[in-house]
Each structure stands twice: as structure tokens, then as C-alpha cells.
Structure 1
Amino acid sequence: MKAVRFSQFGGPDVLDVVEVDPPSPAADEVVVQVRAAGINPGEASIRKGLLEAFYPTTLPSGEGSDLAGVIAQVGSSVTDWQEGDEVVGWVDTRASHAQYVAVPAAHLVQKPQSLPWEVAGGVFVAGGTAWAATDAVRPMKGDVVAVSAAAGGVGGLVSQLLVERGATVLGIASAENADWLGSKGVTPIDRSGGISAIADRLRDAAPDGIDAFVDLFGGGYVQLALDLGVAGDRINTIIDFDQVGRNGVLGAGSAEGSTAAVLGEVVNRLADGRLELPIERAYPLDQVGAAFTQLEQRRTRGKIVLIP
């Protein structure tokens, strides 16, 4: 079968698609034929060697967490799933960017028929991160909450989850995403002009102050939130790690949201239309380098996915 591998740290050019032996399921696993698998910024950072202190890499390495597909084999102790079931899930083995992957049965939820494969395959990391980041800032009805990178894979879901909870959401994003954010009940804030210009726009949009801030971009947004008077324990960042713990700033993300229960909540909302996860583009597996090149420009609305 085909699978993505890299044998050295570096840019997207170090990614290869190679032939490897297909997996066999352990007793508590199933093997899934992957129909779609999302790509994520954290995977790019791991590939560059930037997260070795947190997520050590043994080279050569596979990659990928998100997946959706059809169960092809079932482990001997698995009773909840059978061959042919359509599922959404994840692995912690950096292995979903492949045609087949072994998945713990407990890491799966049923794929609703109405959910497109591309959306299902890209939901796990973004959905779990968004759920945890939203919970972390404790949004209440009537709160004003600012979100950086508000139209990205995580940011779009955070923004919609906050609206669902009754918050007024100020979504910081490029001007080209303003109409989409507005259609989701979000007040778009143009990110152009740097932090000082963004601060002025946030003050104009929320003259009575901002209650909470979700930072999904880095580059000074946590300090901006503090400067705007947001309490540290109502600021959550998934990227500005140096700020986590200072002034009470929180760092909840994918680790806190990595449960089948959370995945099921997000999948159900996507299936019935309460949430939308746009698919910027779907690439064939052998164009994984091009997919990450686009992702790393940091201008994606929603998700980029691979189709094995």
C-alpha cells in the first residue's frame, strides 16, 4: 500500500509516498481503508523538527492523525464494529496519511451518511481542538469573544461554537473571509495592518470591552488580549506556548479534545448543519508536498485533505 514518509526534517519536499506493508489489526483495533485524511499545522511543525521537545520523532516517520474511511478488518476482541462500517476517527501513531491504517476501536465514531468524506476525514484535530479551546475560555451568553485565525480549520469551528453558546464573536481574519464569517453570525475583523491596527478595530467593535480571547495564530495576540484588558484565565492559545501559564493564560487544545465523545459531538453538528467545515482543497495522496505547501501559507479557509 502507499503511505507518506519522511526520513529527515525539513520542508514539504522531504515528504515521500512509498510502498509499505499494509497493517494488521491488534486485538482491540480495526484496519480502515482511508477515504480522506486531513493535514494539520502541527504535523508540519513536527516534520520541521520544531516540536521534538514535546513529540519526539523516530526517522523515518509516517504522519497523520485525522481519518475517515471504511473498516476493512476487525481485531479479535472488537465487538462494536464490523467490516464495511463507515467511520470517522484518529490515530496517535502518525499513520493516517496512507491507504490503510490500524485504528484503536475506541478512537472511532460512525460516519453519518450525510457527511461528505472530505469533511469527515478532516474533522478530528480541528474539531477536538476547537471544542477544547472554546470550553477553556468559559463562554457565556452575551460575552464578547475575539478569535484570531477565525476562518481557519480550528478557528471557523471555534467561532461557530461560540455563536452557538450565545457569544458575540469578533473573528480576526483576512478580508476575503469577511462574508463567510458574517454568514456564520460572526463580526469580521480585518487582520491587515498589524497588531496595532487590529487592536483599534477590536476596540471600535467592542467599546465596552472583550470578555475572552481565543488565539489560534500566535505572533502577539495573547499580549494584545492582555493589553485589551482580557483576564489571563479567559485567554486560550494553541500556538503561543511561551505565554501559557503566564498571567493565567491557558493552553487547551487537541490533547484536551481528543476523545470519541467530543468527536461525536462535532460530527453530529456537521452532519445536521449546525456547523460547517469548509474544504479548501482535496489533494491526491501523491501530492502531499503540494498540500502542505499550501497549508503552510496560513491562508486556508477550513481544511485541506488528502485522498489516498
Structure 2
Amino acid sequence: MRSVQVRRFGDPDGLEVVEVAEPAPGEDQVLVATEATGVGGVDAVIRRGTIGGLGFSPGFVPGSEVAGTVVSVGAGVDPTWVGRRVWAFTGTGGGYTERALARLEDVVPLPEGLGAVAAVTLGSAVPVARFALAHGHAAPGGSVLVRGAAGSLGIAAVELAVRAGAAAVAVTTSSPARGERLRALGATHVLDRRGAGDGPAAYDLVVDVVGGPDLPDFLDRLAPNGRHVLVGVVGGMPPADFGARLLAAFRQSRSFSTFSLDTVARADLRAARAEALDAAARGELHAVVHDVLPLEAAAQAHRRMDEGSVFGRIVLVP
């Protein structure tokens, strides 16, 4: 079967399609015939080699979520799973492939009427956004700034903040055209990447997908008792001394935290994923797909990610 491997970390040309043996599911695992694979921001960060200390090496297969049909199961898994269409979390990697392994506890049946492409656009993004908003104590009537709102995670955060009753949902994005698309999804204010625009002067919550060198400037945009929740570093790591901005505004009682789904109980996470897919099937959440490309075009997908030209999610199909 075909898989995409990172043969060399750095630019997208280091991605290569290779033939590998089909894996066999182990205990409590299923093997999914992939119909669609989501291309995530973390995939690009790992491929660039900017996350150190996590043991990535050449031969690594990117991709953390797939949708398709279960074709075989390992020991301890009910054989009636075979033939079922599912969304599956494959871990830090392993998704850019024709057949992907996943633990049963990370598998959710696809609801009727929801396609594989939509599923991998929302299956990870919506739970991250949901729990990040809860982590930041988003409340009805509050103000939320979503930094880096043009990706699938940012779009999910916008839609969920609106549904939660936020009085103001501001976004940062790279162009007026993208801003208008985000307004159509519920954003009330549009800012540029540096935070300039027509939004409130201060926010109760910043949900940050970007990180990078400009992060401290957004700590300055927090209201008293405001919370900044970092959920991604697609713009790179923040400066080492960014906490000095919080200390400089000590009397404002502002706070900063990171958030990862790794801290959510498995049962709660599985329920949240199922709820997200059901909501999408009902038309309550929107799967915004930038493009659907063949598996062999993974390098092209990553070039677009690096250019910052993606609105929504790119999906790979075998």
C-alpha cells in the first residue's frame, strides 16, 4: 500500500510517497481503509522539524485523523466493527496512508449523511475548539478573539463561540476576503494578523492557534482577568520571555495557559467527537474544505500550508 513519509525534515519536498506493507491491527486496534485524511497544522510543524524532543525521525508518516471503512480488527475488538464507516484518530502520525491503524477507543462511527471529507475537516478541530473555549472559561456575553481563524480549528472556535453566546467574536486573518468569509460564519469583528482592526480594545478570552513572535502583543489585549489559551504554534514558538508581559500587567490578573486534548478523559473526548460529527450531519457546524487532493500531492498541500493560503482544511484522498 502507499504511504507518505517524511524522508527529510524541512521543506515540503522532503515528503515522499512510498510502498509499504499493509499493517495488521494489534490488540484493541482496527485497520481503516482510508477514504480521506485531514492535513493539519501540526503535520506541517512536525514536517518542518520545529518541534524537538518528541522522537520524530525520517520515515515518519504524518497525519492524525482519517475517515473510511474498518476492514479488519485486532484481538479484543468486536468483529461487527468490520464494514463500518468511521472517523479515527491515528495518534501523532500515521494518517497519510491507504490503510491506517487506530485504537478502538479513538474511533467514532460516521453518522448517516456525513461524508469522509467533512469528517476529517471537523473530527479533531471541533473538540479542540470546544475544550479550549471551556479551558478559557468562555461565557455568554463575553468577548473572544480567535487568533489564526482561517484554519479548520479557528473556524470551529468561531462557530462554537457564537453558539455559546459570546457578545463579540473577533478574528485575526490575512486578508479582507478571508475576513468576510469568517463574518459569514459568525465573526463580529475582523483584525489583521497583528491585531489591528475594528475589534474591542480588550478581550475576555484569546484562543490562539498561531503562537510565534507576536504572541506577547496579544497578552496586552486581555481585559482584567482575561485568559489567553494557546492551542497551536503554526507561527512558531513564542519568545522565551513572553511571560514578562503578564508580570508587567500584574494588577490586571491576566493569565496564560496551553491546552491539549491529551488532558481530556478518553470517554469525554470520544463523546465530544461523536457530538461534533452529529452536529455537522445536522448542518449545525460547517466543514470548510479548501481543497481535496490525491495522496500523492501531500507535498503540494504542505506548500500551501507554508504559504498561508489555506482557508479551512486541505484533505488528501487515496
Do they fold alike, i.e. is TM over 0.5?
yes
2:176 aligned partner, one-letter code: A
Whether contact under 8 Å (2:215, 2:242) holds in the other structure is: no
Quote the Cα distance in structure 1 between the aligned partners of 2:274 and 2:78.
19
Whether the 8 Å CA contact 1:5–1:63 is kept in 2: the answer is yes
Contact 1:129 1:255 in 2 (8 A): no
- Write the distance in 1 (CA, Å) between the matches of 2:124 and 2:214: 22
Which residue, out of 242, 249, 253, partners 2:256? 249
Using the TM superposition, give the Cα deviation of residue 132 of structure 1 relative to its aligned residue in structure 2, in angstroms: 2.6
Distance 1:229 1:121, change over 3 A: closer
1:245 to partner: Cα distance: 9.0
- Alignment CA distance shift 1:283-1:231 (3 Å): farther
Aligned 1:224-303 pairs, distance under 5 A: 224-231=217-224, 234-238=227-231, 239=233, 240=237, 242=239, 246=243, 247=246, 248-256=255-263, 259-303=269-313
For residues 233 and 143 of structure 1, the distance between their equivalents in structure 2, rounded to whole angstroms, comes to 10
CA deviations over 1:147-167 (Å, ceiling 9, x no partner): 111221110000111011100
- Comparing 128-137 with 151-160, which one deviates more in the overlay? 128-137
- Name the residue aligned to 1:213: 206
Pair 1:232–1:222, CA change in 2 (3 A): farther
Larger mean CA deviation between 160-169 and 268-277 belongs to 268-277
Q: Displacement, 1:95?
A: 1.0
Identity of aligned residues (%): 26
Size of the aligned set, in residue pairs, is 299
Counterpart residue type for residue 304 of structure 1:
I
| Mapped partners of 1:304, 1:4: distance in 2 | 15
Q: Distance in 1 between matches of 2:272 and 2:240?
A: 26
Q: Which runs of 5+ in 1 are unaligned?
A: none
Q: Distance in 2 between matches of 1:21 and 1:169?
A: 47
Give the letter aligned to residue 161 of structure 1: L
How far off its partner does 1:15 sit? Answer: 0.8
What is the match of residue 74 of structure 2?
75
CA displacement at 1:241 relative to structure 2: 5.0
Q: Kindly tell me: are residues 232 and 303 of structure 1, through their superposed partners in 2, closer, same or farther at Cα, counting changes over 3 Å? A: farther
Amino acid at match of 2:199: A
The two structures, once aligned, show a CA RMSD in angstroms of 2.2
Deviations 1:39-64 (A, max 9, x none): 112112212221122x2213322121
CA shift, 1:220, in A, is 4.9
- C-alpha distance after superposition, 1:177-217 (max 9, x if no partner): 233222222114141xx62xx34x2xx4326x421111222
Q: Which moved more, 1:215-224 or 1:154-163?
A: 215-224
CA distance in 2, matches of 1:81, 1:303: 32
8 Å CA contact retained: 1:36, 1:306: yes
1:129 is matched with 128
User: Distance in 2 between the 1:176 and 1:16 partners?
Assistant: 34
- Cα distance in 2, alignment partners of residues 100 and 213 from structure 1: 38
Write the letter of the residue equivalent to 2:105: A
Q: Which residue of 2 aligns with 1:34?
A: 34
Going from structure 1 to structure 2, the CA distance change for 1:228 and 1:59 (only over 3 Å counts) comes to closer
Greater alpha carbon shift after TM alignment, 11-20 vs 240-249: 240-249
CA distance in 1 between partners of 2:205 and 2:221 (Å): 10
Structure 1, residues 105-156: CA drift from partner, whole Å, max 9, x if none? 1111111122121111233332332223222211111001111112211100
Cα gap change, 1:304/1:231 in structure 2, threshold over 3 Å: closer, same or farther? farther
Superposition pairs of residues 91-106 of structure 1, within 5 angstroms:
91-92=90-91, 94-106=93-105
Letter in 1 for 2:42: G
Cα pair 1:222 1:243 within 8 Å, conserved: no
The answer on whether the counterparts of 2:86 and 2:110 sit within 8 Å (CA) in structure 1 is yes
In 1, are the aligned partners of 2:204 and 2:226 still within 8 Å (CA)? no
Distance 1:256 1:78, change over 3 A: same
